[in-house]
Structure 1
Amino acid sequence: MGGLPVYAPMTARLGTLPEPDEDYAHEMKWDGVRALAYVEDGRLRLVSRNAKDITAAYPETLGLATAVGGNDVVLDGEIVAFDERGRPSFEALQPRMHQRHEWRIARLMEAVPVTYLLFDVLHVNTAPAVAMPYTARRGLLNEIIERGAHWDIPPFYRSAGPHVLAESRRLGLEGVVSKRLTSPYQPGRRSPDWVKVKNVHTQEVVVCGWRQGEGRRAGMVGSLLLGVHGPGGLRYAGSVGTGFTEATLRDLAARLAPLARATPPFGEEPPREETRGARWVEPVLVGEVQYAEWTGESRLRHPSWRGLREDKDPEDVIREE
């Protein structure tokens, strides 16, 4: 595949419902893995936000290549797994995200099937679509795509922001993304034309170290020491010690062992009273936490671990305001 241009996904800014409402369309925010789909010569390639080829992890989506009307296209969407209540579940998706062994993927496909939810089109054959307004791109997407068992085009709602946000909350979803109707697609940019409005606070974090557990977790990872990038480099953001399963802790221990380093990786010295007994690691693993708020000392209050994010690069992790 070499004919289609390479794109970086456009991203949204965190905020509140934008105004005036009639200038925006509102989509549900899906709790999954962002992926661009390149369909060329009848073959599909899925690329993560940090430009990794993740096609092998989601073979049930390969049929999308025959559902684009014979076109060569670049599409944007979110890969999601659903829980037993039919809600997108980042936790359920975790084993799929990290798996590359064919036989294990085949077993996981039955236990944790995924759906690729498409919400944009960037390129069709030799013509870029990024300069088209949002509404025109959504119309083009519906013209091109034939829906399938493992890919779909979720609806969007015009002039109904408060209702859509309330419905997302009722359904237990993460929130909504509001997109300006006239906006072009701006590859690689975090644009004010797209605003994500969350029902819960989540934050991407860099794993910078860990402390050994006590009691039932003796000899295991007890908590992770976290960082986010800011002025002066990587900054200490607190620790997380809840939200882990035993399987998660074993996996983390295996990943952290070869990353050991002698000194903290922060741009400034972290507080000793909060990091006593820390075992530092190279800051290459990215995770996500749910939390209550940021404290005045720029620490995450009551964070809970949600999982690793192999689709994100450490240098892209900043505090979301």
Structure 2
Amino acid sequence: MGSGLPVYSPMLAQLGTMPEPDDCYAHEMKWDGVRALAYIEGGRLRLISRNAKDITAAYPETLGLARAVGGHDLVLDGEIVAFDERGRPSFEALQPRMHQRHEVKIAQLMTTVPVTFLLFDVLHVNAASSIAMPYTARRGLLEQLVERGAHWDVPPYYRDGGVHALAESRRLGFEGVVAKRLTSPYRPGRRSPDWVKVKNFRTQEVVVGGWKPGEGRRRGMIGSLLVGVYDQGRFRYAGSVGTGFTEATLRDLAERLASLERDTPPYDEEPPREEARGAHWVEPVLVGEVQYAEWTGEHRLRHPSWRGIREDKAPEEVTREE
């Protein structure tokens, strides 16, 4: 990562309800993007994803951040976000940026789908780690260190109550909020109750285990994806997803899944016969995200809708979010 800066893993939040008492927590908007740690050293920036991949090349408009930190060497935490036409963070809008590494195409996408790196924590400053500092001190330090730019920002957080913050996130059409205990240190690589994500709608990461051919307008394309999640090391079938796709998404998925074909279902338990009939099975390596209504008693997703591929997550990390 460079000669002076240690390697960190991002701290993770638990899914839950709004923690109390209110005055013990700050509340940040939950940005619907891709998590990234920024390593700034010697005036150069490297972006590292949650699963430790170098994603710097995908987001050239963020490179100027390295010149906006007063010459310090830093490790910063944040989310890379694309906004829709209404100004809301959009995971769907970000999809073409996440997968692209071709310089010319990236240059075109920077115009049509610009991104913003929203920073919310600082882990290291020059020769010193800051992870033991309380949240409020780290946020104050972050705001002092980073000069805002066209493609990076330190968004405000709420100190006037979680109910108000959640209502504001709903009004703005955001995914929800993250409540962070004011006194909490940064715990690299850990999912801690000091950070609680509270969602306005339910999302679930899934691993694709197969697909079924489409009919009617989708004849010759993928009709639905058969997905699963890991449960105590076992890969369990979680249902089929047939909505939320654009034609471009379906073409991209078909291309990705073609090389992953296998003869048998990858699940540790057989899917229902009627849902497995006519299915094409694939190695369970492609991770995506769905929005859904609820989990059924049979451990199936009810009314899931595809949101996009998650290249920042490993399949074995995908467990059911309660």
Q: TM-score range by the shorter chain?
A: over 0.9
Residue identity opposite 2:70 in structure 1: G
Give the TM-score, by structure 1 length.
0.99
- Counterpart position of 1:126: 127
- SS of residue in 1 equivalent to 2:209: strand
Q: Distance in 2 between matches of 1:176 and 1:192?
A: 14
Give the TM-score, by structure 2 length.
0.99
What's the CA shift for 1:2?
2.9
Identical aligned pairs, as a percentage? 80
Q: Is the 8 A contact 1:82 1:88 kept in 2?
A: yes
- SS of residue in 2 equivalent to 1:109: helix
Q: Distance in 2 between matches of 1:86 and 1:35?
A: 21
Residue identity opposite 2:68 in structure 1: A
- Counterpart position of 1:301: 302
Q: Distance in 1 between matches of 2:144 and 2:220?
A: 56
Is it true that 1:79 corresponds to 2:80 in the alignment? Answer: yes
- Counterpart position of 1:316: 317
What's the CA shift for 1:39?
0.3
Is it true that 1:221 corresponds to 2:222 in the alignment? Answer: yes
- Counterpart position of 1:39: 40
Q: Distance in 2 between matches of 1:154 and 1:232?
A: 38
User: Please, which runs of 5 or more residues in structure 1 have no aligned partner?
Assistant: none
Is it true that 1:141 corresponds to 2:142 in the alignment? Answer: yes
CA deviation vs aligned residue, 1:202-227 (integer Å, no higher than 9, x gap): 00000110001111111111000001
Runs of 4+ in 1 over 4 A off after TM superposition: none
Q: Distance in 2 between matches of 1:21 and 1:273?
A: 49
- Counterpart position of 2:183: 182
Identify if the C-alpha distance between structure 1 residues 195 and 179 changes in structure 2 by more than 3 Å, giving closer, same or farther: same
Q: Distance in 2 between matches of 1:164 and 1:38?
A: 30
User: Please, which runs of 5 or more residues in structure 2 have no aligned partner?
Assistant: none
RMSD of Structure 2 on Structure 1 (CA): 0.8
- SS of residue in 2 equivalent to 1:157: coil
Residue identity opposite 1:40 in structure 2: E
Q: Distance in 2 between matches of 1:158 and 1:190?
A: 23
CA deviation vs aligned residue, 1:252-310 (integer Å, no higher than 9, x gap): 00000000011111122222122211111011100000000000001000000001011
Q: Tell me how many residue pairs correspond in the alignment.
A: 321
- Counterpart position of 1:165: 166
Q: Distance in 2 between matches of 1:220 and 1:167?
A: 40
Is it true that 1:100 corresponds to 2:101 in the alignment? Answer: yes
Residue identity opposite 1:76 in structure 2: D
Q: Is the 8 A contact 1:23 1:159 kept in 2?
A: no
- Counterpart position of 1:112: 113
CA deviation vs aligned residue, 1:2-23 (integer Å, no higher than 9, x gap): 3211101001000010001110
- Counterpart position of 2:195: 194
Q: Is the 8 A contact 1:232 1:267 kept in 2?
A: no
